[in-house]
Amino acid sequence: MPLPLLALAIASFGIGTTEFVIMGMLPDLAQDLRVTIPQAGMLVTAYALSVVVGAPILAVSTARLPRKSALIGLMGIFIFGNFCCAVAPTYGLLMTARIITALSHGTFFGIGAVVAAGLVPRHKRGQAISLMFSGLTLANVLGVPLGTALGHELGWRATFWAVVAIGVIAAAALALWLPRGLPGSSGGSLLGEFRVLGRPQVAMAMMISVISSASLFSVLTYITPLLERVTGFTPDQVTYVLLLFGVGLTVGNLVGGRLADWKMMPVVMTTFGIITLILVALVWTSATPLGVVPTLVLWGIAAFSVGSPLQMRVVDQARGAPNLASTLNQGAFNMGNALGAWFGGIAIDHGVAYGHLPWLGAGLAVCALSLTAIAAATDKGTPHADDLAGDEACPGYAH
């Protein structure tokens, strides 16, 4: 992996860890702060909504900054937010700190995806984006299980201190390894960039991202209590199950990057169909350890194999405004995260058993499949983003 892509992957590892690790600590955190598990789940929702709100604001604010400076500045916000999480004495202050942390999330991944794609030849753009996002998936393999274990042993605050350290390392890597003069900063009118967002295919691709994430997080947010109360795993065993699930996410992300460079829309439609079947199966397999583990691994592979294709779809369709569109699509993913966590919490509050939450995720996956089919049927051809055109962009990092 070229060093600039490695720097982006380290940063995405830190961001992914702080986003997902809280799910493995929900019962402990809820007990310590004296709130219910659905109330603790709102920390996931608030984080995701902050990404949605912060993404367009910071995208506009950093539009004309050099890409390297913008990415390092965003990591500074990330470090400060996690520091506040580590020292927050109450639920309300922890909620505020999570909101601060999330402000940089969408813009970092949005800008980072465009930068990653600009570092390689056109036919490898999907793989470059997936390599950057590999840090996010590795966070589920290493960051989340280790962070969960650390939280169980030393308290949930220790996990956030560890994330602060990861953020410092990531900022140093970005400063050392990202080249100057990266492509992607906006030299045109911001109003013109916003007009691009009105293209039907751009809006439709972002809506697919929303529904896809809602399907995932309607179940994933409450995966720890599901595994403990339905399957019967102990907290320590849940850590290992989450590790295997993270392996599935990593494999799916890398596979999705290659598929994005092949036949994007047919593959995405097929994958949503597979996700639907897996979630339906999870309703029954969650009752036994031997059934739930392989089901979760397959779900992780399928769920994360659509991320890079959807991100690349938005960048390609938003010709003339890849930075803003890519960033807003991160907001779309996290809007789905928030909605999924919210839908799952509402279902639990109204008496739906944890073991039946996969029905909700399956229904949302069917909606994503339907919208993808409509987008493919009305597609008149995928334009190429001007900002990413040509194989000559940053040729020193192309292989």
Predicted local distance difference test score (pLDDT) of residue 399: 33
DSSP 218-264: HHHTTHHHHIIIII---HHHHHHHHHHHHHHHHHHHHHHHHHHTS-H
Can you tell me the mean pLDDT for 150-165? 92
Per-residue confidence band for 393, with pLDDT thresholds at 50, 70 and 90: very low
Q: Please say if the pLDDT value at position 388 is more than 60.
A: no
Show Cβ contacts of residue 381 under 8 Å, excluding neighbours closer than 6 positions. Answer: none
* Better pLDDT: 86 or 240: 86
Average pLDDT over residues 274-287: 95
| Lowest-confidence segment of 52-56, 77-81, 187-191, 294-298 by average pLDDT | 187-191
Identify the H or E element spanning 398: none
pLDDT averaged over every residue in the chain = 84
Q: Does domain 3-384 have CATH number 1.10.8.350?
A: no
Q: What is the pTM of this model?
A: 0.75
Rounded mean pLDDT, 142-152 = 85
Strand (E) or helix (H) holding 346: helix 322-349
Percent pLDDT > 90 in the chain is 36
Place of tokens 């460079």: 261
Q: Is the pLDDT of residue 392 over 50?
A: no
Residue 383 has pLDDT above 90, yes or no: no
Give whichever of 69-83, 252-266, 383-397 has the largest mean pLDDT: 69-83
Q: Which two tokens stand for residue 167?
A: 């953020």
Give the model's pLDDT for residue 25: 85
Rounded Cα distance, 8 and 352, in Å? 40
Are 100 and 43 in contact, with CB atoms under 8 Å apart?
Answer: no
The pLDDT value recorded for residue 143 is 84
Instruction: Return the higher-pLDDT residue of 214 and 263.
Output: 214
Contact (CB, 8 A) for 66 and 59: no
Least confident residue range of 160-174, 252-266, 337-351: 252-266
Closest by CA to 13, choosing from 171, 136, 166, 104, is 136
Q: What is the pLDDT of residue 216?
A: 94
Band of residue 384 on the pLDDT scale cut at 50, 70, 90 = very low
How far apart (Å, rounded) are the C-alpha atoms in residues 69 and 54?
18
Residue 320: predicted pLDDT: 66
What was the pLDDT predicted at 261? 72
Q: How much is the pLDDT for 6? A: 93
Q: What is the distance, to the nearest Å, from the Cα of residue 96 to the centroid of all Cα atoms in its chain?
A: 20
pLDDT tens-digit readout, 65-76: 888 899 999 999
What mean pLDDT do residues 201-222 have? 91
Q: Where are the domains of the chain?
A: 3-384
Q: Which residue has the tokens 């991160």?
A: 330
Return the number of other C-beta atoms located less than 10 Å from residue 251's C-beta: 17
DSSP string, 142-191: IIHHHHHHHHHHH-HHHHHHHHHHHHHHHHHHHHHHSPSS-TT---S-HH
pLDDT at 183: 59
Lowest pLDDT segment from 311-320, 366-375, 381-390: 381-390
